[in-house]
Amino acid sequence: MAVGIFDSGLGGLTVLDAVSKRLPRVPFVYLGDNAHTPYGVRDAGDVLELTTAGVAHLFNAGCDLVILACNTASAVALRRMQEGWVPRDKRVLGVFIPMIEALTERHWGDNTPPREVAVKHVALFATPATVRSRAFQRELAFRAIGVDVEAQPCGGVVDAIEDGDMILAKALVRSHVDALMRRMPAPEAAVLGCTHYPILGGVFQDALGPEVAIYSQASLVAESLADYLVRHPDKLGPGNRAQFLTTGDPEFVAGTATQFLRRKIEFESVRPG
Ligand code: DGL
C-alpha cells in the first residue's frame, strides 16, 4: 500500500515528514533526483523528462499514486503528464492546489466562480522556473478575485541547501525577501512555493516580520492526501516497504537529510530511465 513522493532533491522531505506524521501506517517511497537538482533553472522539456523518469521508477517500485513534492515539477510538468502520460490506473498529484485552496478559503471540489477572499496581498517565493510558469497566479485566478501576487524568483537557494551551505542559503533568503518587500512592503501572507524553503522557514519569518502569515505547504498537502485516500483507497499501491531513494551520492544525501530532519535516514542509490 505504498505511496510515492518525488522531488528534485531534499526539499520533498519537508512534505514526507508531514504526510508520514498524518498517515503513520502508509509506507512512503521517497525519490530525490539529487543528481539533477536544481530543476528550477531548467527548461520545461528537461523538467518533464526528468520528472517522468522519476515517477515511472516509483510506479515500478509499487506506488500507484505519486505526489510531486516539488513545485517546479508541479507547475511545469504535471499538467502535460496528466494529459498524455500517466497510465489510467495510476495517479500523479502536485503540491500547488492544496495551498491555493487554503489561501482562497475553498474545499476540494468547490468549482464555484472566483470570489473575493480575505487575503489581498500575497508574496510568492519560488524557483525561477515556477515563477516563470505563472501557474500559481493562474490557479489563483480560477478561485479568487482582487488578490495581488508579487513573485520573487529565489535563485541559488536550492543549490545552497543541497550543498549543505546554510550560511549562503540564509543570506540568499534575506536578500530575496528584501527584494520582494521593496516591491510589496506589506504582504499579508507569504507562500513558500518551493518545498526546500520550509527548511529555512524561520529565516523567512524573521525577514518578513511576525505579522506576515506563512502558509505551510507540507501540512496542507498531508491533509489533502489523507482526504484523497479516503475517497480513493484503491490508490494505495502494492508496495509494502518505506524506502529512501536517490539518484545522487547516497552517503552525501543521507548526511544532509539527517541534518534537516534531525533523524537518521539511509538512502539507496537508483538510476531511473
Ligand atoms: N523542491 C523543488 C520545488 O519545490 C525545488 C526545485 C529545484 O530543484 O530547483 O520547486
Q: Residue 25: which pLDDT band, with cuts at 50, 70 and 90?
A: very high
| Residue 172 CA: distances (Å) to CA of 168, 187, 195, 260 | 6, 19, 16, 18
For β-strands 148-153 and 144-145, DSSP reports them as unpaired
Residues whose CB falls within 8 Å of the CB of residue 68, separated by 6 or more in sequence, listed in order: 6, 7, 51, 55, 74, 77, 78, 92, 93, 94, 95
Regarding predicted confidence, which is higher, 109 or 258?
A: 258
DSSP symbol at 237 = -
- Does the pLDDT of residue 241 top 90, yes or no? no
pLDDT number for residue 1 = 67
- Does the pLDDT of residue 200 top 90, yes or no? yes
Residue nearest to atom 2 of ligand 1 (CA): 70
Q: Which three three-digit cell numbers place residue 28?
A: 512512503
Distance from residue 8's CA to the centre of ligand 1 (Å): 6
Give the gyration radius of the chain's Cα atoms.
Answer: 18
Residues whose CB falls within 8 Å of the CB of residue 231, separated by 6 or more in sequence, listed in order: none
CB 223 within 8 A of CB 22: yes
d(CA 29, CA 216): 22
Question: Average pLDDT for residues 86-94, to the nearest whole number?
Answer: 96
Nearest CA-CA partner of 36 in 24, 22, 51: 51
Nearest CA-CA partner of 69 in 45, 120, 33, 36: 33
Which residues approach ligand 1 with their CB closer than 6 A? 7-9, 11, 37-40, 70-72, 127, 130, 158, 194-196
pLDDT number for residue 149 = 97
Distance from residue 38's CA to the centre of ligand 1 (Å): 6
Q: What is the mean pLDDT of the chain?
A: 95
pLDDT number for residue 153 = 98
Is 176 exposed, middle or buried, given 0-12, 13-18 or 19+ CB atoms closer than 10 A?
Answer: buried
Question: Average pLDDT for residues 125-143, to the nearest whole number?
Answer: 96
Q: Which domains does the chain have, with CATH numbers?
A: 3-94+218-269 (3.40.50.1860), 97-217 (3.40.50.1860)
- Does the pLDDT of residue 251 top 90, yes or no? yes
pLDDT number for residue 128 = 97
- Does the pLDDT of residue 3 top 70, yes or no? yes
Question: Average pLDDT for residues 119-144, to the nearest whole number?
Answer: 97
CB 192 within 8 A of CB 218: no
Catalytic residue positions, numbered: 70, 194
pLDDT digits 0-9 by tens, 43-69:
999 999 999 999 999 999 999 999 999
- H or E element: which one contains 116? strand 115-116
pLDDT number for residue 260 = 85
